[in-house]
Amino acid sequence: MFIPLTAFDLSMAAVLVLLLALSSWRMQLNITQQLVIAAIRTTVQLLLIGLVLKTVFTHVDIFWVTVICLVMLSVAGWEILSRQHRKLKGWWGFGVSTGSLFVSSFFITVLALMTIIQADPWYHPQYAIPLLGMLLGNTMTGIALGMDRLVQTAWQQRSSIEQRLMLGQTGHQAINEIRKESMRAGMIPIINSMAAAGIVSLPGMMTGQILAGAPPVEAVKYQILIMFLITAGTGFGVISVLWFISRRLFDNRHRLRFDQLLKTVHSK
């Protein structure tokens, strides 16, 4: 059984957001403007992507699927970058974040589509795009957290790192503890959500499928698949981004090179 939503149904929910905006304005909580803009953005963006997906689903064409996936990938790469306090100079920052998303999310999505889901054809947008979207959305968070932790901690502990270099440690050894800690920071969200899944929280995708009328056990199987893919994607993504940045922080003479970094104002 699937109950379609009408415009009226959505307006009911929108009224709740409006009420919240109104009360926060009355209480001078300084969140009204951001709240309204975000609500409008989500409506417009989602309606647009709905229309795009509708068109793409009717014309199954690998070219358009690739274009959409590449757009998603670069926006996610950009999003990671905008969450960093200090980022690599020039195109390195974008290259590192997008590259790590590519090896994690993109590669794993293709692998899952070809060997696990096996739709016909394997790049069928009905599977490819939602799958990539979910992977990007989640690995993005992990990568952004791991990357930010590495660079921030290295910055705060730069004297210790240099002291270790003075004692004859390699750049790799000198930043080892910080790298471990950053790996943890990047992986904690997905480890937590795996541990809490089904008991504390019902994951969104599974809930969506159940709402759409799918048998619960089928929905659960998909959810487990997605969880594993996200975990692998996040893990490999964080590993590659940490490897890359920790190499970039040192030159070939094992000197700490913070001149490779650009300090930016936190926008979010």
Partner 1 sequence: MKKLLIKELYYHHCGPVNLQINAGDCVAVSGVSGSGKSLLLRALADLDEHRGSISLDDILMTDLPAPEWRKKVALLPAESQWWFDTLGEHFPATDNEMIHYFGFPDNVMSWSVSRLSSGEKQRFALLRLLLNKPDVLLLDEPTANLDNTNTLLFEKLIEDYIKVNSACVIWVSHDAQQLSRICNVHYQIENGQLLRQ
- Note whether 140 and 80 are within 8 A (CB): yes
Site for partner 1 in 2-41 (CB under 8 A): none
Q: Does 255 bind partner 1 (CB under 8 A)?
A: yes
Q: Does 164 bind partner 1 (CB under 8 A)?
A: yes
Q: Does 199 bind partner 1 (CB under 8 A)?
A: no
Distance CA 86, CA 263 (A): 4
**Cβ neighbourhood burial of 22 (10 Å; 0-12, 13-18, 19+):** exposed
The alpha-carbon radius of gyration of the chain (Å, integer) is 22
Q: How far is the CB of 253 from partner 1 (least distance, A)?
A: 4
Among 24, 152, 157, 209, which residue interacts with partner 1 (rule: CB under 8 A)? 157
Question: For the chain, first and last CA: distance in Å?
Answer: 40
Distance CA 56, CA 50 (A): 10
Q: How far is the CB of 255 from partner 1 (least distance, A)?
A: 6
Site string for partner 1, 215-234 (x = CB under 8 A): --------------------
Q: How far is the CB of 104 from partner 1 (least distance, A)?
A: 30
Q: Does 82 bind partner 1 (CB under 8 A)?
A: no
Stretch of 53-61, 76-84, 154-162, 224-232 lying at the interface with partner 1 (CB under 8 A): 154-162
Among 11, 45, 156, 170, which residue interacts with partner 1 (rule: CB under 8 A)? 170
Where do we find the tokens 């090896």? 103
Count of beta carbons in the 10 Å neighbourhood of residue 47: 10
Identify which of residues 83 and 164 has a Cβ nearer to partner 1 in the complex: 164
Pick the closest to residue 193 from 234, 152, 149 (CA basis). Answer: 234
Identify which of residues 221 and 255 has a Cβ nearer to partner 1 in the complex: 255
Among 177, 184, 193, 194, which residue interacts with partner 1 (rule: CB under 8 A)? 177
Q: How far is the CB of 177 from partner 1 (least distance, A)?
A: 7
CB neighbours of 156 closer than 8 A, spacing ≥ 6? none
Largest alpha-carbon pair distance within the chain?
69
Q: Does 165 bind partner 1 (CB under 8 A)?
A: yes
Among 5, 7, 167, 199, which residue interacts with partner 1 (rule: CB under 8 A)? 167
> Does residue 261 sit in helix, strand or coil?
strand
Distance CA 108, CA 143 (A): 15
Q: What number of CA atoms fall less than 13 Å from residue 240's CA on the CB side?
A: 18
Q: How far is the CB of 167 from partner 1 (least distance, A)?
A: 7
Q: Does 254 bind partner 1 (CB under 8 A)?
A: yes
Q: Which residues bind partner 1 (CB under 8 A)?
A: 157, 159-160, 162-170, 177, 253-256
